[in-house]
Homo-oligomer: A and B are copies of this chain.
């Protein structure tokens, strides 16, 4: 069976801004509240995760990820409202792209 596959990402002035891997990282930070744990869950170094976050934050008017201090757990890292919005924008885009792939796959004849 022939099927169309693909990948999609968002660039900012020709630099990577958001792609599938960065979205997983944002979701893991949301889940774990910690860059260290998010990175570990993706078998990524802390430095690598931090650089991806820094790249996203620098390119966005509003940071997507920020440190929060205090509280019962003594602080950590969280996704901002803008971070949540970016996750949704990418997921909606990717879902549309999946539908595009499925519709076009049905037209294939080999």
- A residues lining the B interface (CB < 8 Å): 1-13, 17, 59-61, 86, 89, 93, 96-97, 100-101, 104, 108, 110
Chain B residues within 8 Å of A8, by CB: 4-6, 101
A5 and B9 contact, Cβ closer than 8 Å, known pairs A97-B100, A100-B97: yes
Q: Are B89 and A93 in contact (CB under 8 A)?
A: no
Which chain B positions have C-beta within 8 A of A86? 110
With a CB–CB cut-off of 8 A, which chain B residues contact A13?
1
- Rounded to whole angstroms, the CA-CA distance of A22 and B108 in the bound complex is 17
CB distance from A23 to the nearest CB of B (A): 14
Q: With A61-B110, A96-B104, A110-B61 as given contacts, are A12 and B1 in contact (CB-CB < 8 Å)?
A: yes
Residues of B within 8 A of A97 (CB): 6, 100
